[in-house]
Chain A
Amino acid sequence: MAAESRDGDVTEASVRERLDRVTDPELDTSIVELEYIDEIRIDHAEGQDPSASRAVHVAMTLPTAWCSPAFAWMMTTDARDEVEALPGVTRATIELQEHMHEREINRGVNERLSFGEAFPDADGSVEPVRAELDEKARISRQHDATGALLDAGLDGDQIVALTRSDLDLDADADHARVWVRDGSLAVTVDADPLERYLEKARTTGLVDDDHPELFRTPEGDPVDPDAFETVRHRTRLAGVNMSGQGSVCDALHESRRAEDRPPLSMRSD
């Protein structure tokens, strides 16, 4: 079996792995981890060569029927694009279920419309919303990254001065090396929080902007050493906000999935 598993072999696991890269933008957490995915169906047309390209159908439900249509739009279009990036998939269709705007969103996502075409009465595009949420995710991830550096023994002055070239992420799979004291000393740090931070720093354009400093204020400026503590507190707050909202969504999700809960359509007239 394993020997047969090549690029063109689309499995539920490989689809799930792609979907795992899609985050709920408000929570900065994978939609797979959040259990939004209800069903993955890979269409096997009869008599078709199993290695031939195929269509994939993904059904998903968000924690509430009222989840922001802009967020729902981001997640469903991201899911579509991630699955279609899988070699061997010709077409992905997404079915958002039990959402107040499921009709507009499913039509828009599957007919490849823009957000403005799917929602003619919306004022503006989803991109500014996405950019703002990416920024919040970046700030929250900075808290984890600077926390790991503090744990490794660096101080605030050293952390605010770090640049991309001070980081060596290829040391080994789990660890990064961070060069301090003008490159005279390397400190070993857990790689994961640094990698996660860098991913969002790249998305938000901080890696290639005019400043070499790796870490920034929430506004995107280099951090004054005297303000290091305040920025630490602000990044902590961003994380608490995100996980707090995550708890709200999680509770709504649980209550909605409760066994005795009538489906949405039955509760409305």
Chain B
Amino acid sequence: MFSSLNRLLMSRMGPAVTGAVVGILAPLLSFWGNPANMGICVACFSRDIAGALGMHRAAVVQYIRPELSGFILGSLAAALVYREFKPRAGSSPIIRFFLGMFAMIGALVFLGCPWRAYIRLSAGDLTAIAGIVGLTVGVVIGIYFLWTGFSLGRSYQAKKPMGMIMPALAVSLMALLILAPSFGPDGTGPIFFSEKGPGSQFAPIWIALGVGLIVGWLAQRSRFCTVGAIRDLIMLKDGHLFKGVLAFIVAAFVTNFLLGQFNPGMEGQPVAHTNHLWNFMGMVLSGLAFTLAGGCPGRQFIMSGEGDGDSGIFILGMIVGAGIAHTFSFASSPAGPGPFGPGATIVGLIFCLAIGFLMREKVSV
């Protein structure tokens, strides 16, 4: 049974199977306690972790999300079982760090990563549409660079311990969540946990971790990627990853509907704002940064579990970016974009465009 499941995941239908499972589990996580329309959001959850570690002061978004540890460890387990664990690194790590940072800033201007954009849409949040259009535009700009020789250079095989750094971080985060030690003066954080707001809403730890492990395993086997889906469809007319996104949206819509979590409209959607311009622009930035870095934030977590140190650096960039986005007032709130969010988005776009134009090379043939 196990090997037939693996064959299914490795087949052209693999991403669709993964998308359908994620589409069912994500709304269930909201049902079990995660914030509304945020059953799984890789960007939001990285931001919550940054907050719990004291890297920003937004008191409402601080929690160590077990789902993300699960992504890394589930992917690690699958990669070990199927001998795909392959420590590697060295493809422009510092650029990937900043791409991660700006991808996060864009996502926090929109209020969600691509995963959450699809979840928001599936729950009837029509403000997600501007974000998804923006995401697509960002991917298209990225495709232009890819066709014209953009490359962050080669990565190289690394020793085993290097590939275990991100899994070790995932385990450490779980330990910090469970032990909740206080390191600060007078016994105040970190670790910080929100008392109200999205950070105070969470599914039971072991359920959240379990879902993360399942999704990590499935996504490692099937290469599920929410940005690669759009990229391959447009660039190569190859829709097999895109079927994953479609299955994700349909399954999430049905699950949300059955759970009474489907509320169509623009106004008053949970953890979302109605400024379409900056919903759009934030995701243009994110889509471009993710495309230049080779995959959506979920995929970066999965690859870091396979031993890809460059994806690990991208994730660390995302976490630092989340800290910056909230301390520098770049992040949006349900009231609208933060005062400096639009400016930061423009700076991020200039950075990504410069990287796209300047990082070109001819691959030896």
Do chains A and B interact in one complex?
Answer: no
Interface residues of A (CB under 8 A from B): none
